[in-house]
Amino acid sequence: MTDVMVQKFPFSCSPCLNEADEQPVAEQRSHQSINQLEQGTLKAAKDPNNNPNQANSKLEYEDTVSASKVREAQAPSTDSDLQNIDMVYSEYCSTHSEPSASPNSPIKSSLTSDKQDRDLSSVENSRSKCQVSYKTVFEKWANLQYEEQRPSTKRQLSAESAAKSVTVRKRTTVASSKEEPVKSLTHTNPGTQLRKAGLPIRLSCQRQPRRQLFTSTGVFHKMDTHVISKGKELKEQAVFSPQSIARVITQGAKNELEKIRAIWVWLCHNIEYDLDGYLGLSPKLCTPEEVIKKGRGVCSGFSSICLEMCREVGIQCEEVSGYSKGIGHWPGRRLADKPSDHMWNAVWVKGQWELLDACWGAGTVNMDTKTFIKRFDDFYFLTEPRDFINSHFPDEENWQLLETPISLEQFALIPLKTSAFYTLGLTLQQPTQYKIITDDGKTTVSVSSCRRLTFAYELRQRDTETGAARQNELDGSCGLLSVTQQGMSLRLLPPEPGAYELKLFARPDGDSGTLLWVCTLELECPAVQQSQSVPPNPYLSWGLGSNAGAHGVKACSVPSQDALEVCETGECEVVLHTSRPLMMVCELVHSELDFALAKRCLALQIAAERLVCNVLCPYKGYYRLSVFVRDYDDGSGSFQNVGNFLLRCRGLGVNQNMLYPSDLSPWCGPGMRTQAVGLSHFSHTGALVNLPQGRCNITFHCSTSQLQIHAVLSAESCQKNKEKSNQAGFPLSRHILLTFTDSKVTVSVCVPQPGVYRLGLYGRTPPQQDYAPLCDYVLRSTCDRCGEPFPCVYSAWGKGCVLLEPRGGVLAPQSWVCFRVRVSSACRVSVLAEQRVDLKMNKSRVWEGKAFTGDIAQIKLTAATSDTSDMAVLMTFDVLNLESRL
């Protein structure tokens, strides 16, 4: 019975009505029976000729129908019920005929608002004898029974609500042609103060959060589909009455929550914001019928239609006026001297007031193009008050629905956050106010998130004269954005003093859609920091990307928050730890670094569980190192950016003559390639090998007996200047020697001069004809002494051949030289000098002997595998002549 009564008695006074617009309506109700009221037998209501005021006739007929609905909702009346009605009626009349009626009267206590007291006073002064209809008394009597059955807390709320929901009106017994016609219901402009009767009372009990009302807006999918479909049908049928529309779209609603949802969805999908009306380019539409017919309206149009529809279906609803951070708002704007500019609604559902804004839920406005963008936004449907207060400040404090209300000054200091800020689960950690002031030319903004997101920012300098943000966006060198799984941190470095507008954007990680605007802040920079500019970053964020884990990168050796300090020698190392084999490419950017030179600054090592990028910095300042990966076995896949690292070189940088060779392959050092062919146990596990003495031995094991290894030594300086290579008299191939034993391979290198060299290892397995690259080593020698070449090796020098003595390939003339060599499967080993010398095998299976060089130019080391076979040349030694020696 209680719920039915609440629905049958919607509030009759709208907060959007000015008191001056409410016309007194004459109501002549003599002591007629309830049946006469139900049947509408009043003469003024039936006969238009007796009631020329059509608005009054219509209102009277609606009152008659309402009385009928109340009668249907109640139990069958008895004689005692009618006696009770008569008693209440008599008491009501006696009370209002005496101005000094007792304040404890139950009828009087239910009328608490000042406005109703004024209405009652006007009734008492207008007539010497108060005449009240049975319908009015019946409503009061029903409300008393309803109040007695409700808890005290809700009864207190209803007392205020009822005070604004009942209006006693009179009409003269004789219709006069001089009476002014009833004015149409016009709504107040934004900023009109709410009547005190409509204010909620703050309760001590804790509010139910939105998620307890409904888990997600997806539960309304069926209702939303129904409303959208019916909305199209009603538009085609030219139905513009909010009451008629409300009854149709709420058909099938199971509860008040679904009714409110139906009204909300209809408003957002059928009414657009009237931007021309707001800008004064066209008249504003006032009445709900006009707004519905044209399909557009300002904020008061949305709120008034919502109010009318809610009342029609028995939902307690109020219009709320106040300030908003919408069109025309900018951070720091002083609001105390300005009138409020917005209207929204509050509805009573499941025992508490909830807030909604259909105007903001329908879409947004682009002031640059002066257009309305239709975009349904569920956030403004029954929004949490703690989130709603960030963009909506009501004129009346109680409509904040907060246990601790905030002031208008505090509201103005809150950073501007969009609905996407809350739907993405963001929290602004720093700053706490809209305005940031740099300290020593820098400041930091940090945002935390409950899930992995992609972030971006936009920084625009404000015009010093107009204060408006300039169209030109500053490049990425003004900020360092670091994104983690828990949020982001943005370090700002404004290029010059002044005021700036900072906008933050975000979207779900892995979503290729448009980045969503989530927050706007103001930045004030009194003085800039004197430092080198940061290179632009087109990949949005610095540090290891939030999507790195999805692409197989677990961790990184570079901290995400700060720049990596490069050592004094101008080199650094970036290591990525991986969860699966990956392929990697890198990009190095500096303001003075071109593409060809940048290529010589990178040496990449690709291993099974880690990726290593060795970086050289030839200039002072900041560098951007961007890393891209793809699955190792996916040759057709595209590379994805997983990290962008800021490197800072404080020194003069590396000498450009010491940069890496330009012909380096992506396979530097032991890695996936060497592992795939069975090479392991490398003596040098990194890609870089330093040669303080100008020589080294690199060893490793080979598990494949048929694998043939080949090594190539090259240098950038020798390729550019062949004359310098010829002056030494020997090619670089003479400065490398391969030695094969059972499963061990030794690559001996002795570089001719200081510099940077590339040592390339190649392999093939017969019947393959071509050698495939296995890995490259970068050899860096700082030894000033020229290294001697090795003997010239021929194809007969293979597995099992080891040169013990002499190691150098250049012999002195006219001297005795001791030869010691191990040759597997050889039955005879000889040295061909001025005379042939056959070497003898010792107990260690080493062939040894001495030979005299004499004056010949070349000495050959030969071997035969059988007594009948010819001698094959294993290697040759050069003998210096006296002229070249001098």
Q: What is the per-residue pLDDT for 326? A: 86
Higher pLDDT, 711 or 652: 711
Q: Out of 789, 808, 828, pick the residue that ends a domain.
A: 789
Q: Are residues 425 and 499 in the same domain?
A: yes
Neighbour-count burial of 31, counting CB atoms closer than 10 A to its CB (0-12 exposed, 13-18 middle, 19+ buried): exposed
Strand 736-740 vs strand 772-781: parallel, antiparallel, or unpaired?
unpaired
Distance of alpha carbon 485 from alpha carbon 508, whole angstroms? 11
The model's confidence at residue 869, banded by pLDDT at 50, 70 and 90, is confident
The torsion defined by the Cα of 395, 400, 402 and 405, in degrees rounded to 10, comes to -30
Q: CA separation (Å) from 866 to 315, 586, 714, 793, 825?
A: 110, 55, 38, 21, 9
For the ranges 63-72, 424-433, 841-850, which has the lowest average pLDDT?
Answer: 63-72
Q: What is the per-residue pLDDT for 581? A: 94
Q: Is residue 757 part of a domain?
A: yes
| DSSP per-residue string spanning 77-127 | P-HHHHHHHHHHHHHHHHHHH-TT--TT-HHHHH---HHHHHHHHHHHHH-
Q: Yes or no: say if 734 and 790 are a contact pair by the CB < 8 Å rule.
A: yes
Q: Are residues 367 and 435 in the same domain?
A: no
Q: What is the CATH number of the domain that holds 883?
A: 2.60.40.1930
Q: What is the per-residue pLDDT for 380? A: 95
Distance of alpha carbon 275 from alpha carbon 281, whole angstroms? 8
Q: What is the per-residue pLDDT for 147? A: 44
The model's confidence at residue 199, banded by pLDDT at 50, 70 and 90, is low
Kindly give the residue spans of alpha helices, DSSP state H, lying in 166-255: 210-213, 221-236, 242-249
Question: In this predicted model, what pLDDT tens digit does every residue of 396-405 receive, in sequence order?
Answer: 999 999 999 9
Q: What is the per-residue pLDDT for 162? A: 36
Question: In this predicted model, what pLDDT tens digit does every residue of 308-361 receive, in sequence order?
Answer: 999 999 999 999 999 999 887 777 777 888 888 899 999 999 999 999 999 999
Q: What is the DSSP letter of 646?
A: E
Q: What is the per-residue pLDDT for 757? A: 95
Nearest CA to 359 out of 291, 420, 416, 415 is that of 291
Q: What is the per-residue pLDDT for 315? A: 94
Handedness of CA 45, 49, 50, 55 (dihedral sign): positive
Q: Is residue 672 part of a domain?
A: yes
Indicate the helix (H) or strand (E) that contains 697: strand 695-702
Is residue 105 pLDDT above 50, yes or no?
no
Q: Is residue 535 part of a domain?
A: no
Q: What is the DSSP letter of 208?
A: P
Q: Are residues 653 and 555 in the same domain?
A: yes
What's the domain count of the chain?
A: 6
Q: What is the per-residue pLDDT for 485? A: 79
Q: What is the DSSP letter of 20?
A: G
Neighbour-count burial of 835, counting CB atoms closer than 10 A to its CB (0-12 exposed, 13-18 middle, 19+ buried): exposed
Q: Is residue 385 part of a domain?
A: yes
Q: Is residue 466 part of a domain?
A: no
Strand 640-649 vs strand 564-565: parallel, antiparallel, or unpaired?
parallel
Kindly give the residue spans of alpha helices, DSSP state H, lying in 561-693: 595-599, 672-676
Q: Are residues 106 and 88 in the same domain?
A: yes
The model's confidence at residue 639, banded by pLDDT at 50, 70 and 90, is very high
Q: Out of 789, 814, 829, pick the residue that ends a domain.
A: 789
Q: Are residues 715 and 741 in the same domain?
A: yes
Is residue 792 pLDDT above 60, yes or no?
yes
Q: What is the per-residue pLDDT for 39? A: 40
Residue 372, C-beta contacts closer than 8 angstroms, at least 6 positions apart: 272, 273, 275, 363, 364, 365, 366
Distance of alpha carbon 693 from alpha carbon 699, whole angstroms? 18
Q: How far apart are the first and last CA of the chain?
A: 124
For the ranges 334-338, 593-597, 682-686, which has the lowest average pLDDT?
Answer: 334-338
Q: Yes or no: say if 492 and 448 are a contact pair by the CB < 8 Å rule.
A: no
Q: What is the mean pLDDT of the chain?
A: 77
For the ranges 37-51, 324-338, 835-849, which has the lowest average pLDDT?
Answer: 37-51
Q: Is residue 8 part of a domain?
A: no
Mean pLDDT confidence for 452-459: 88
Q: What is the per-residue pLDDT for 200? A: 64
Mean pLDDT confidence for 582-592: 93
Distance of alpha carbon 538 from alpha carbon 481, whole angstroms? 11
Q: Yes or no: say if 209 and 355 are a contact pair by the CB < 8 Å rule.
A: no
Q: Are residues 676 and 609 in the same domain?
A: no
Return the structure tokens found at 554: 């677990």
Instruction: Record the pTM.
Output: 0.64
Q: What is the per-residue pLDDT for 531? A: 66
| Percent of the chain topping pLDDT 70 | 74
Question: In this predicted model, what pLDDT tens digit does every residue of 822-839 receive, in sequence order?
Answer: 998 889 999 999 889 999
Q: What is the CATH number of the domain that holds 444?
A: 2.60.40.10
Q: Is residue 467 part of a domain?
A: no
By residue range, what is the domain housing residue 721? 663-789
Q: What is the per-residue pLDDT for 201? A: 56
Q: What is the per-residue pLDDT for 794? A: 92
Distance of alpha carbon 518 from alpha carbon 509, whole angstroms? 15
Q: Are residues 592 and 687 in the same domain?
A: no
Indicate the helix (H) or strand (E) that contains 419: helix 419-423
Q: What is the per-residue pLDDT for 870? A: 84
Q: Out of 160, 182, 204, pick the residue that ends a domain.
A: 182
Residue linked to tokens 């109040």: 147
For the ranges 194-203, 436-445, 578-587, 732-741, which has the lowest average pLDDT?
Answer: 194-203
Q: What is the per-residue pLDDT for 717? A: 60
Nearest CA to 213 out of 257, 157, 275 is that of 257
Residue 388, C-beta contacts closer than 8 angstroms, at least 6 positions apart: 355, 401
Q: Are residues 722 and 813 in the same domain?
A: no
Is residue 44 pLDDT above 50, yes or no?
no
Is residue 275 pLDDT above 50, yes or no?
yes
Higher pLDDT, 592 or 198: 592
Is residue 108 pLDDT above 90, yes or no?
no
Q: CA separation (Å) from 811 to 295, 466, 638, 806, 815?
A: 101, 85, 55, 9, 8
Distance of CA 14 to the CA centre of its chain: 41
SS3 840: strand
Higher pLDDT, 117 or 546: 546
Is residue 547 pLDDT above 50, yes or no?
yes
Is residue 140 pLDDT above 70, yes or no?
no
Q: Are residues 404 and 286 in the same domain?
A: yes
Q: Are residues 281 and 237 in the same domain?
A: yes
Nearest CA to 298 out of 242, 342, 239 is that of 342
Q: Is residue 86 part of a domain?
A: yes
Mean pLDDT confidence for 511-522: 89
Q: Are residues 218 and 350 in the same domain?
A: yes
Q: Are residues 625 and 723 in the same domain?
A: no
